[in-house]
Amino acid sequence: MTFDSTVYCGRCRFCRAGRNNLCDNRRVMGVSCQEYRRDGAFAEYATVPSRALYRLPEAVSFDRAAMVEPLSVALHAFNHARPA
C-alpha cells in the first residue's frame, strides 16, 4: 500500500473541480513549506484519508514503487518541454 502525500479537503472549489493539488486547505506530508506541511512522513505509522491510499500490485517491489513519483515528475516535465 502507498499513499498520495497531498491531503486535500474535498470541499473547496478546486477539489470540486478535480484540482486537488490546488486545494485551499491542502497539507502535504513530509517535505513542504511550513504553510502546507503536515508532519508525520518519517513516522513509523501515519494516518491519511482512505481516498489517498493506493494498493500496489503484488508483482511491484517497494524499490520499484518508490520510483513511480520521481519518474512521473520527469515524464510530465518532458511532455511539457518546448524544444529550443
pLDDT value of residue 31: 67
d(CA 4, CA 52): 5
Strand partners, 37: 28
CA nearest to 6, candidates 19, 17, 68? 19
Question: How would residue 60 be classed by pLDDT, with cut points 50, 70 and 90?
Answer: very high
Segment 14-58, tens digit of pLDDT = 999 999 989 988 888 876 666 666 766 677 888 888 888 889 999
pLDDT value of residue 14: 96
d(CA 84, CA 82): 6
pTM of the model: 0.61
